[in-house]
Amino acid sequence: MNLWKRIRKLSLKQMFHLSFAFLKRPMLIGPTLKATRRTLSISYELFGGAHHRNGKANAFRHALWNILICKNVQKRTKNTEKSVNWAKKITFLYEKVTKNEKMDQKMDLHNNALGRAWFLSNIDENEAKLVDFIQKKLENARKIEENDTLTNYNECLIYISEEPPHV
């Protein structure tokens, strides 16, 4: 399911929560939407529609989304801490309002956090290098089960289901 279809399925209350965050910081709407569109474009290019499932491609997409939100917002605000806090706030809010399954949410929040941490440790890298960096991290991604605690996966992207490779 693409982002816009998902947003259209939000209830009025869910839409209000998401809109309120942007109304408080209207200058961050553009950088956030740009990061979202770019993330989806790169993910489709690399993985086709697999990034909408719960495999490695989805883990990649969430990490990249957070990195690109941070990069774009930092360009606007000139403040690294604010950019990371905004990415955390908006991606957490997105997970909250979309009401994914518990495992999906656990996976997404973990991979989002890794993306923000990797932004901080690769702050001067360009987009292409960041994409390569995350792709290399996919080599060590770990499949998790429902009862897994995430303390063993601090630096690893995580995913729920195996998926066929993109051809």
9 in any annotated domain: no
Residue 6 covered by a domain: no
Residue 74 lies in a domain: yes
Residue 1 predicted with pLDDT over 60:
no
Token pair recorded at residue 29: 């709407």
In a domain, 72, yes or no: yes
pLDDT of residue 120: 97
**CB-side exposure of 133: number of CA atoms within 13 Å?**
19
Residue 39 has a pLDDT of: 96
Question: How far apart (Å, rounded) are the C-alpha atoms in residues 29 and 151?
Answer: 33
83 in a structural domain: yes
Give domain status of residue 42, yes or no: yes
Per-residue model confidence as pLDDT tens digits over 79-113: 999 999 999 999 998 888 777 788 888 899 999 99
Weakest mean pLDDT among 76-90, 126-140, 145-159: 145-159
Nearest one of 57, 78, 80 to 131, comparing CA atoms: 57
Asked if 58 and 159 touch (Cβ cutoff 8 Å), the reply is yes
Inside any domain, residue 131: yes
Mean pLDDT taken over the chain: 85
Write out the residue range of the structural domain in which residue 49 sits: 31-159
Arithmetic mean of pLDDT, 39-60: 87
State how many domains the chain has. Answer: 1
Query: Within a domain: residue 153?
Result: yes
Q: What pTM was estimated for this model as a whole?
A: 0.85
Whether residue 6 has pLDDT greater than 50: yes
Least confident piece of the model among 18-22, 72-76, 153-157: 18-22
